[in-house]
């Protein structure tokens, strides 16, 4: 269970003060698929970054399993991400100098899954995403849809509690994107992973357990 | 750990509400694999870095060896002309055989007598050296500086004079010259066999040679010139001589040629400055190239940080990358330098066109680059040191940069 309590974030830049998030509060259950929508600049990326501990809110708290993850030290936050977070970004997620298998190896190594268990898990993931036989391919040799699928596989390889996807379908065509999101939501639901997807694509909303709409950093809730 | 066990452990941690468990840093073998794969698969950048370091190291190894070779040549020329590496006086005739110790190539015994040389009305005071012509020819080079006639041979009643003396006394080859003692009393006559000119004033002024048996009878002083085998340290032989012959006065070339000693010291200082400068420039180059290389991969570092790479892991990854490159390049560079030195140390480098009027190159203007341990090891070690120093800035930059900012901007 993840609970956000009055999360606010203010950016100070050349354009003046920008209230990227103001007083965001909601609770997400295990296995829920939550879609964040809102116009460009409404604060979706900022919210995902706060949940993912890549950024620290100015005020408010984010509780995971009873711990305020915003108050953790840098080292513990990093280790928390290593253990319980998966990230998928809009594009260019994969490490370009590593093959598909080596990319998948990364989170497994970080979590101490090695040797035979590691090889087994990589095979299992490639099978799940329909990419068996792609082990030795380099990211440049993959299509956009294939690399996003690998990115998802890498993000869930270590069975994280939270999966954060920032516009994962933006570089894909509508039907490919839809298939991918469907697969993710189903997978996360069965594994008990809480999934956050930020998107512009309103067609995806029907699949979500919950939709959070942001407008100028404020939440307009509807279920 | 099997994957199911991993899941179970995770679930238990969660149930016990223990918060995120702390995991140790990344396994070094995996880190090493990533570092080397990154270098291997972005080989263009790697080759540029390698090329820079290899050429710098090779050039410096060669340069160091050349400096050593130049010093060698100057010492060889200066000591090999006449004086040897060690000069001794106050030694008894019967003791001279004791100077022949391991490391000594040849000991020349010279008897000297102060006399007046006369031709008609002209007189000149000089030191006449009685020598063993065969041995002198074997060990020294001044006899090669003959400009007319020949060097005297054993058994001849002849004399070998400098061109200056010949001019002043108006002597030519075959002329007879009078030998007088300092009071002007005639001692004997010798024929001029040869005339020499070395270009070094203390040899060209006031010195003449004759075979020992041709010396006029009288009070002669004994001096020895010791020639060492290559690579024999002169100090150790001098120390041994001082133990063997405590009453004799023994000095090394560093004492009786202080000008040459200073020149060589100056050379070493210059060399150290050149090495430091070249490496300072190369290290700036390596730093910049590595910085560009790292910044080019900024997004990847952002992704890895988001996935939970600790600052220490990031630092180790970058240090491993540059370490791999510099160690490899330093090894190749040293080898390349070594081979170049090996080739030139066989053929030699002829610089006689630039040294014909230089007293430190009076015999031969050919340099033989020579590698010493220091010349071989300093360039690669300095390269590795500077390479490591070059990782500091990019590492700090990446560690301090927030992954969210990296991922937003790239
Ligand atoms: N580092 C920053 N410094 C200053 N302002 C920032 C910074 N990051 C984001 N912002 C501002 O915060 C607001 C929210 O940005 P955010 O990226 O969260 O929007 P978004 O909903 O993800 O937009 P998009 O759909 O275009 O990705 C925007 O107005 C943006 O300009
Ligand atoms: Mg965004």
Domain ranges of chain A: 30-53+74-222
Q: Residue B293: its pLDDT value, please?
A: 77
Higher confidence at residue B88 or residue A92? Answer: B88
Residues contacting residue A112 through CB under 8 Å, at least 6 positions apart: B1, B6, B23
All residues of chain A having their beta carbon less than 8 Å from the beta carbon of residue B23 are 79, 82-83, 110-112
What is the predicted pLDDT for the residue at B21? 58
From the list B7, B297, B310, which residue is nearest A78 (CB)?
A: B310
Q: How far apart are CA A170 and CA A159, in angstroms?
A: 25
Q: How far apart are CA B307 and CA A84, in angstroms?
A: 10
Under an 8 A CB cutoff, do A55 and B402 touch?
yes
With a pLDDT cut of 90, the percent of chain B lying above it is 30
Pick from B7, B310, B404: CB nearest A55: B404
Give B300→chain A minimum CA distance, Å.
Answer: 6
> How far, CA to CA in Å, does B193 sit from each of A204, B114, B130, B151, B174?
113, 20, 14, 6, 6
Instruction: For residue B283, give every residue at least 6 positions away whose Cβ sits within 8 Å of its Cβ, in sequence order, or none.
Output: B386, B387, B389, B390
pLDDT tens sequence across B155-213? 999 999 999 999 999 999 999 999 998 888 899 999 999 999 988 888 888 899 999 99
Task: Please identify among residues 68-97 of chain A the ones whose CB lies closer than 8 Å to any CB of chain B.
Answer: 72, 74-76, 78-85, 87, 89, 92-93, 95-97
Nearest atom within ligand 1 for CA of residue A217: 14
Residue B221, beta-bridge partner list: B112
The pLDDT value given to residue B208: 94
DSSP labels, A30-58: TT-EEEEE-STTSSHHHHHHHHTTSS--S
Give the separation between CA B12 and CA B375, rounded to whole angstroms. 61
Question: How do residues B16-75 score in pLDDT, each as one tens digit?
Answer: 766 555 556 678 888 999 999 988 988 888 888 888 889 888 988 888 888 888 888 888
- Rounded CA separation B394/B384 (Å): 17
Question: What's the mean pLDDT in A65-83?
Answer: 88
Smallest CA–CA distance, residue A55 to chain B, in Å, is 7
pTM (2 d.p.): 0.78
Would you list the domain boundaries of chain B? Answer: 27-76+261-409, 91-247
Rounded Cα gap, residues B136 and B206, in angstroms:
19
Which tokens hold the place of B11?
Answer: 């679930």
Residue A16, classed as helix, strand or coil, is strand
B3 to chain A nearest CA, in Å?
Answer: 6
**What are the b/e assignments for B165-181, b being 16+ CB within 10 Å?**
bbeebebeeeeebbbbe
- pLDDT tens-place string over residues A159-173: 899 999 998 888 888
Question: What is the torsional sign of CA B341, B347, B348, B354?
Answer: negative
pLDDT score of B13 more than 80: no
Give the chain B residue nearest A157 (alpha carbons): B3
Question: Could you tell me if A158 and A10 are in contact, meaning their C-beta atoms sit under 8 angstroms apart?
Answer: no
User: What are B68-97's pLDDT values in tens digits?
Assistant: 888 888 888 888 888 889 998 888 878 888
- Is the Cα torsion angle A59, A64, A70, A71 positive or negative in sign? positive
Chain B residue numbers with beta carbons less than 8 Å from the beta carbon of A158 are: 6
Neighbours of A187 (CB within 10 A): 18
> What does the pLDDT read at residue B115?
92
**Nearest by Cα to A158 from A196, A195, A198, A193:** A193
Residue with tokens 């899954």: A113
**Cα distance between residue B408 and residue B410, in whole Å:** 6
pLDDT > 80? residue B240: yes
| Chain A positions in Cβ-Cβ contact with residue B312 (cut-off 8 Å) | none
B292 CA distance to ligand 1 centroid (A)? 27
pLDDT at B45: 82
Is B254 a residue whose pLDDT tops 80? yes
CB–CB contacts below 8 A, A to B:
112
Strand partners, A177: none
Over 70: is that where the pLDDT of A222 sits? no
**How far is the C-alpha of B299 from the C-alpha of B304, rounded, in Å?**
9
Please list the alpha-helical segments (H only) found in B201-257: 201-204, 234-244, 253-256
Residues 175-214 of A with CB under 8 A from B: none
pLDDT of residue B157: 93
pLDDT-derived band at A157, boundaries 50, 70, 90: very high
Cβ neighbours of B96 (radius 10 Å)? 16
Q: So what's the pLDDT on residue B99? A: 87
Rounded distance between C-alpha atoms, residue B145 and residue B363, angstroms: 9
CA A11 to chain B, closest CA, distance in angstroms equals: 12
The pLDDT confidence band at residue B5, using thresholds 50, 70 and 90, is confident
- Span B266-325, pLDDT tens digits: 888 888 888 778 777 877 777 777 778 788 888 899 999 999 898 998 999 999 988 898
- CATH 3.10.450.50 is right for the domain spanning A30-53+74-222: no
Question: Which pLDDT score is estimated for B20?
Answer: 53
| Ligand 2 ion: residues within 5 Å (CB) | A 45
pLDDT for position B19: 57
Q: Is B45 on the interface with A (CB under 8 A)?
A: no
The answer for residues whose C-beta is within 8 angstroms of residue A40's C-beta and 6 or more apart is A200
Name the residue of chain A whose CA is nearest to B310's CA: A78
Which whole number is the average pLDDT over A69-81?
89
Q: State the residue for tokens 């009453």.
A: B247
Contacts of B273 (CB under 8 A, 6+ apart): none
Give me the residues paired with residue B227 across strands: B106
């Amino acid at each position: 269970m993840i609970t956000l309590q009055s999360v606010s974030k203010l950016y100070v830049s050349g354009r003046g003060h920008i209230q990227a998030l103001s007083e965001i509060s909601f609770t997400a259950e295990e296995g829920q698929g939550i879609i964040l929508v809102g116009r460009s600049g409404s604060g979706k990326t900022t919210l995902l970054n706060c949940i993912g501990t890549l950024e620290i809110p100015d005020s408010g708290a984010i509780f995971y399993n009873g711990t305020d993850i915003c108050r953790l030290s840098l080292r513990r936050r990093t280790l928390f991400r290593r253990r319980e977070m998966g990230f998928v970004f809009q594009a260019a997620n994969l490490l370009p100098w590593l093959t598909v298998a080596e990319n998948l190896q990364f989170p497994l190594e970080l979590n101490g899954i090695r040797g035979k268990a590691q090889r087994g898990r990589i095979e299992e993931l490639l099978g799940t995403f329909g990419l068996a036989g792609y082990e030795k391919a380099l990211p440049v040799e993959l299509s956009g849809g294939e690399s996003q699928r690998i990115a998802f596989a890498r993000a869930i390889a270590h069975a994280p509690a939270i999966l954060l996807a920032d516009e994962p379908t933006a570089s894909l065509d509508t039907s490919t994107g839809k298939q991918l999101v469907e697969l993710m939501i189903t997978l996360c639901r069965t594994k008990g992973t809480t999934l956050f997807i930020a998107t512009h694509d309103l067609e995806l909303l029907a699949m979500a357990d919950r939709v959070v709409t942001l407008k100028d950093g404020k939440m307009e809730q509807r279920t | 750990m099997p994957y199911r066990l991993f899941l179970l452990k995770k679930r238990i941690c969660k149930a016990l509400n223990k918060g995120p468990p702390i995991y140790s840093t990344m396994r070094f073998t995996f880190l090493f694999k990533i570092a080397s794969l990154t270098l291997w698969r972005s080989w263009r950048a790697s080759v540029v870095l390698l090329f820079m370091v290899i050429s710098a190291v090779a050039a410096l190894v060669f340069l160091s060896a050349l400096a050593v070779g130049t010093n060698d040549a100057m010492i060889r020329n200066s000591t090999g002309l006449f004086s040897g590496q060690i000069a001794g006086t106050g030694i008894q005739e019967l003791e001279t055989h004791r100077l022949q110790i391991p490391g000594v190539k040849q000991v020349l015994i010279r008897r000297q007598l102060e006399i007046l040389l006369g031709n008609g009305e002209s007189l000149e005071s000089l030191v006449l050296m009685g020598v063993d012509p065969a041995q002198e020819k074997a060990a020294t080079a001044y006899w090669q500086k003959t400009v007319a006639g020949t060097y005297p041979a054993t058994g001849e009643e002849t004399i070998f004079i400098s061109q200056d003396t010949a001019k002043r006394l108006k002597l030519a080859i075959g002329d007879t010259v009078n030998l007088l003692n300092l009071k002007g009393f005639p001692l004997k006559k010798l024929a001029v066999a040869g005339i020499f000119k070395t270009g070094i004033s203390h040899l060209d002024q006031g010195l003449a040679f004759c075979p020992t048996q041709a010396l006029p009878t009288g009070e002669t002083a004994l001096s020895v010139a010791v020639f060492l085998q290559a690579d024999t340290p002169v100090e150790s032989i001098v120390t041994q001589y001082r133990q063997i012959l405590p009453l004799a006065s023994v000095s090394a070339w560093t004492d009786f040629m202080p000008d040459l000693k200073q020149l060589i010291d100056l050379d070493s200082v210059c060399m150290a400055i050149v090495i430091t400068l070249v490496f300072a420039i190369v290290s700036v180059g390596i730093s910049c190239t590595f910085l560009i290389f790292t910044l080019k991969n900024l997004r990847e570092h952002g992704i890895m940080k988001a996935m939970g790479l600790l600052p220490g892991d990031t630092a180790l990854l970058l240090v491993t990358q540059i370490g791999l490159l510099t160690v490899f390049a330093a090894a190749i560079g040293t080898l390349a330098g070594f081979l170049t030195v090996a080739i030139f140390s066989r053929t030699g480098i002829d610089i006689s066109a630039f040294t014909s009027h230089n007293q430190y190159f009076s015999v031969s203007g050919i340099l033989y680059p020579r590698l010493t341990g220091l010349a071989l090891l300093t360039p690669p070690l300095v390269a590795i040191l500077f390479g490591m120093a070059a990782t500091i800035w990019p590492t700090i930059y990446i560690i301090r940069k927030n992954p969210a900012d990296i991922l937003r901007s790239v």
